[in-house]
Copies of this chain bind each other. A is one copy, B any other.
Amino acid sequence: MPNKRQITRPAAAPETTLEAQVFVSMLRAADALARGAEALLKPSGLSATQYNVLRILRGAGPKGLACREVGCRMISRDPDITRLLDRMESRQLISRVREENDRRVVKTRITAEGLRILKDLDTPMADLHCRQLHQLSPKELRQLSRLLERAGAQTQHSEE
């Protein structure tokens, strides 16, 4: 039961390409980071997805965003924005109003309550990220960020 870093080429493993290695490392690292964030959010009763939506809406400002626009900016796509927002609205984190001009769209905005919760989380979240990545120097972080952006450059969005 080896718990080592170096690949031990276990039994039936087919030729492990460099790309496959990066694939696994990436998912693992991302999962570790996400898990930490979720743990931090749990006391607030927020899921990672909900937190992401709140940040997006804060970034969008008082003009708000259409349902679909929120979906586009999310880190992980959610095919069911409606009910995600339903839950958040019932918890008073966001508000929704149907547009007058184009009555198809529903503008979503963050509430004062949502802003408050988010604000309280800003520092703890930043601290968490630093703790999670403290093993890397600023130079390495920049390097990593650059590589990640290129690696994920398929479905590109812009957050907040």
Query: Which residues does A use to contact B, with CB under 8 Å?
Result: 1-5, 8, 10-14, 17-37, 58-61, 69, 75-77, 122, 125-126, 129-130, 132-133, 135-136, 138, 140-145, 147-160
Contact = CB atoms under 8 A, between A and B. Distances in A.
Interface of A is mostly: helix
Contacts of A11: 59-61
Contact of A158 (B2, B18, B156): B2
Tally of this chain's copies:
2
A136 B17 CA distance: 14
Most buried by B among A17, A22, A34: A22
B136 A154 contact: no
13 contacts: A11-B59, A20-B126, A23-B132, A26-B29, A26-B30, A29-B152, A33-B152, A36-B154, A132-B151, A133-B151, A135-B151, A136-B147, A144-B148
